[in-house]
Amino acid sequence: MSDVPWWRFALAATAVGVAAFAWEQPFVALFGVLPILLWCVLAKSARTGVVAGLVLLVLLAWFTVPRGLGLTGPWVPASIEVYWFHTTLAAVVCAVGTLVERARPSPLLPTMVVVGFVAAGGVLALHWDAPPGDEGVAPGPSQLTIARDYACGSGNCWGVLEATGDRAPDVMREYLVPHGYTPAREISGVPRLCRRTGVLVTHEVCAELRTLSATAVRVEWYVN
């Protein structure tokens, strides 16, 4: 039975299921699964393979599930940290597992880490002046009529969402709170809510709620 690689398939399938929490960002999900798929190839024994694989699954869950559930805080990794921080920690776990098997760590492990850092730099460069993603603001409450757009100026871009419907300003605020947004300092009298993620690198998104009328609100959100 030990010769049957059942655990490899089970580990890979579970990793894909956990990474599904990040499927809104497919490239992030791919990098989250990559170390586990690599470990499924490198591991030689079922015992070490399963133990180290479970550690890798816990790491993957930490880096994807809380953010997928809309949780925030300094213990919730930012999506950019999946590329380099998660990859580095996973490479260490794989290296330790390989040493336990009395084998030499594969050169693929440092290569994976380097690729992770390069990918992180590429993502930052591509999104430097780009509008933010949904960030828990879009698509907005289903009971409101939503119009989404974006705007740019002074080297920055931000998302714009106009919502209309009964009690639109209050409904929009109530929608943001469960997505991790908390009241922040107002700017020029405009109410603002922000949320933070990131263990080593802080990713802060703020949303300004501009009340247009009792039934209309304009939300502008941006990454600080």
Residue pLDDT, tens place only, 172-191: 999 999 888 999 998 888 99
Give the pLDDT score at 153.
Answer: 82
Give the pLDDT score at 2.
Answer: 45
Residues in the chain where the model's pLDDT stays below 50? 1-2
Q: Each residue of 127-163: b (16+ CB within 10 Å) or e? A: eeeebbbebbbeebeeebebeeeeeeeeeebbbbbbb
Residue pLDDT, tens place only, 147-177: 999 998 877 889 999 999 999 999 999 999 9
Give the pLDDT score at 191.
Answer: 92
Cα R_g (the chain), whole angstroms: 21
